[in-house]
Structure 1
Amino acid sequence: MARFNRKTLSRIYFLPTIAAETLIPTSAEITAGTDYTDQINAIEGWSLENTPIETPDMGSTFVSKIGGDDSAADSSLTFYEDSTTDTIETELAKGTSGYIVIFSKGKTAGAKGMDVFPVTVVSNSKAYTADNEAAKVTVQFTITDRPVFNQTVPTGP
C-alpha cells in the first residue's frame, strides 16, 4: 500500500454545471470549473454520515443496529482572501448552486478517486481578526443530494 499526502496531490474544483444525472462531469465541464485548491486554507466535512436504528428484541440483552438514514456532514471550505480580486465572493456567493468536485488522488484522466457533491452556498463570510494571520473567507455549503464517491476521472474532450 502506497501512502500519500493529500496536500500536494488532491485537487478541489467548483463546477457550475454537470449535465449527467449520474453526477459524472465531462472533461469540458471540469475545464469550465474553477480550481480552488491553491486558495484553500481549511476543509471541513465532505462526507456522508449515517444514523443507525436500534433493533432490540426480547431474545437478547444485546441491542443490535441496522443502517438508517444517510445525511451529509456540515461542509465548508476556508479560503485565503485575495486583495485584488473577489472571485470567491462572487462565484461562491450565497445562494449559488453547483458542484464541489474533489479529486482525492489527483486529476489524472482514467484514475479513480473523484468525489462529486451537489451543493448550494449557504454562507460566504469574511473572517475578521486582529491576529497576525492572512485574511480568510469561509464558504459554508449544504449538500443537496446524495454525492458520488470514488468515480473515474473522465478522459477525452
Structure 2
Amino acid sequence: MVATPIAPTSRYIPPGTTRYYWVASISNYLSPSRAELNAGSDLTAEVSAVSGFATSSDQQDTPDLGSRFVKKIPGRITADDSSITLYASSNSSDARTLMPRDAAGYIVIFPEGDVTGQKMDVFPVKVSSVPKSRDIENPASMTFQYTITNVPAENVTIP
C-alpha cells in the first residue's frame, strides 16, 4: 500500500496577497482581537523589502557511550534579525511617525491576506534603528530594523 498524498495546495505569490501590519498595542498577542488588528496600521503598500521574521531551533548533540552515532535533540529557539524596508515620503509623512527608534509594538504578518479563519504570525518587536537609504538612483527608503522581544505567535487563526 502506498502513502496517501497530501492535498494539492492553492499556490500564490506574496505581492498582492501578503499583508504587513504595525499594531502598537495588543492585550494578548497569542490571540489578537479583530478590534486590535483593525486599530493597527497597514504597511503593505509602502513595503519594498522584508528580511527575517522567521524562527529556527538549534540542534544539540546528545552523545552517549551506547553508540558511535551521535543523536540530536531540538535546542533553543531563536529569531532571525528582522527588518522591513519602507518608502520614504518627500514631506516626511511616512512610517517614521508610526515607528520611531525604541517604539515597541507588533508586526503582524498575514501570508495569505487578512482573511478571517486563515493564519497570521504575530511578532512582538522593538524598533532598534531606522537607517535611511542614501542611494541617488532608487526611490528613497528607510529600513526599519527590529529586535524580536518575545516568542513569536505563529500560525494564529485570524479573527
TM-score normalised by length of structure 1? 0.91
Whether the 8 Å CA contact 2:88–2:94 is kept in 1: the answer is no
Q: 2:68, 2:75 → 1: CA distance?
A: 21
Q: How does 1:97-116 map to 2 (within 5 A)?
A: 97-110=104-117, 112-116=118-122
Structure 2: state its 5+ residue gaps: 1-8
Choose the corresponding residue for 1:74, options 77, 81, 84: 81
Q: Which of 125, 129, 134 is residue 123 of structure 1 equivalent to?
A: 129
CA offset digits 1:129-150 (Å, max 9, x no partner): 23x2111100000110001111
Letter in 2 for 1:97: A
In the alignment, structure 1 residue 8 sits paired with structure 2 residue 13: no
Tell which structure's C-alpha radius of gyration is larger: 2
Structure ranking higher in helix proportion: 1
1:109 Cα deviation (Å)? 1.7
Identity in percent: 39
Q: Quote the offset at 1:86 in angstroms.
A: 3.0
Asked if residue 96 in structure 1 is aligned to residue 117 in structure 2, the reply is no
Matched, 1:58 2:69: no
1:33 has 2:58 as partner: no
Aligned alpha-carbon RMSD (Å): 1.2
Match of 1:18 in 2: 26
**Does the Cα contact within 8 Å between 2:57 and 2:78 map onto a contact in 1?**
yes
Partner of 1:139: 144
SS at match of 2:130: strand
Q: CA deviation at 1:7?
A: 1.4
- In structure 1, the gaps of 5 or more residues are none
Query: Are 2:23 and 2:39, in contact at CA under 8 Å, matched by a contact in 1?
Result: yes
Counterpart position of 1:152 = 157
**How much has 1:91 moved relative to structure 2?**
1.2
Please give the alpha-carbon distance, in whole angstroms, between the structure 2 residues aligned to 1:19 and 1:98.
11
